[in-house]
Amino acid sequence: MQLTKHGHACVVLSDDDRRLLVDPGAFTTDDAWAGASALLITHEHFDHFVPDKVRAALDADPALELWTNSSVAEQLAGLGPRVHVVGPGDSFTAAGFDVTVHGEWHAVIHPDLPRVRNVGFLVEGTVFHPGDALTVPEVAVPTLLLPAHAPWSKIGELIDYLREVKAERALAVHDGLLNDAGLGVVAGMLGEHGPGQPTSYARLAPGESVAV
């Protein structure tokens, strides 16, 4: 597969003419949607999900389908069976890609704020997008899409997460609010200037691709 980052939390996984679009939120440019074969959405926050854009995409392409959690699906009422509700332990095939579902809840931002549902997707047993949670799948993860920065996280938690998952490599996502200085600090702490963790870490620029 080819993995292309489209800014912040959005990636496209592609193989020939199949394109699996994951978490196209408010920071995602329109070119990410071109030729989408199927959609995966981890949770309802605006940087991962824009209801009007999803509705427009499904209206424009009768073959397009979406897999997501119940909270997102409720905001897309009326679109029929092309919106599939999934939860932890489920497996399905989207655009020919085998996908398993891990996790159920968004990370805690603050105890006074209600948590929303959040599902992570492991595609072809190869690439895991956890959404906004530090979910540890009960299977090996070759490539982990690591939420590098969020209101709910701190760098120590990311280091411990990488130690627990033991992925072969981590690629940064959820980094749209960081400037160059912040990106450098995160990379340093997850690499040579940090306490150490077992996974190689890299960041793709928006539009950049890598084989997975």
Structure tokens at 90: 């489920």
Q: What is the pLDDT of residues 118-168, one digit of tens each?
A: 999 999 999 999 999 999 999 999 999 999 999 999 999 999 999 999 999
Are 60 and 39 within 8 A, CB to CB? no
- 211 part of a folded domain: no
Work out whether strand 200-202 and strand 2-5 pair parallel, antiparallel, or are unpaired. unpaired
**Is residue 106 included in any domain, yes or no?**
yes
Span 174-197, pLDDT tens digits: 999 999 999 999 999 999 999 999
Range of the domain at 51: 2-204
Give me the CATH number covering residue 170.
Answer: 3.60.15.10
Beta bridge partners of 201: 170
Report the domain count for the chain. 1
Evaluate whether 79 touches 61 at the Cβ level (below 8 Å).
no
Distance CA 126, CA 57 (A): 27
By the 8 A CB rule, do 168 and 194 touch? no
- Paired tokens of 2: 């080819």
132 found inside a domain: yes
Tracing tokens 């199949």 back to the chain, one arrives at 18
Q: Is residue 210 part of a domain?
A: no
pTM of model > 0.75:
yes
